[in-house]
Amino acid sequence: MTNQRKHIAIALIGQPGVGKTSIVHLIDETLESRGTTFVIETHDIIYTIWELQTSSYEPERLAVFSASFLDESKAFSRYVLIVSDSSAEDINQISYSMRFLRKQFPKTRFAIIANKQDLQERLNRTRIERMTNLPTLELSATETEQRDRLVNFISYLMAERTGF
């Protein structure tokens, strides 16, 4: 009877230190990882969150670090949230790498979390959306009052099923 729950797979990908773990803990500070994943179960949905850390978006690296996510999320709705520290350097690299990322993650909805907005010299949402063509959320993951904005953004992506 309870097997009808919908599965949603979310990968947080990004360079070391951009705030992936902080984002998971902003959603739910009590979440503990099950190996490489975090699981949130609600009445009708099971969310599995993968934290995929990479030092580069080169195709060879992407293939290695995304293998388990791609394999285990085959039957699920798949989302990749690219986490950035919002520096020009990181956003440039993401923008350049989008064609590899799209190839590596088929049938996937992409978005950007532009984290560390409280720090100096961060690119804003408008700028990042223009550079990447992806929906972008400005965030400071260490500020707990920003949780609702994060949750609303993820809900918005899930409600809006275009872009595949």
Binding site for ligand GDP (CB under 6 A): 14, 16-22, 115-116, 118-119, 140-142
For Mg ion, give the closer residue by CB, 20 or 131.
20
Least distance between ligand GDP and beta carbon 148 (Å): 16
Least distance between Mg ion and beta carbon 19 (Å): 8
Question: How does DSSP assign 5-59, residue by residue?
Answer: -EEEEEEEEESTTSSHHHHHHHH-TT---BTTEEEEE-SSEEEEEEEEE-S---H
- Given the rule CB under 5 A, which residues bind Mg ion? 20-21
Q: Which two tokens stand for residue 11?
A: 């990968």
Look up tokens 């739910």; give the residue. 28
For ligand GDP, give the closer residue by CB, 118 or 160.
118
For Mg ion, give the closer residue by CB, 31 or 158.
31
Q: How far apart are CA 78 and CA 69, in angstroms?
A: 9
Least distance between Mg ion and beta carbon 51 (Å): 6
Tell me the pairing of strands 37-41 and 45-53: antiparallel
77 binds, among Mg ion, ligand GDP, none (CB under 5 to 8 A by kind): none
For ligand GDP, give the closer residue by CB, 78 or 122.
122
Q: How far apart are CA 87 and CA 10, in angstroms?
A: 23
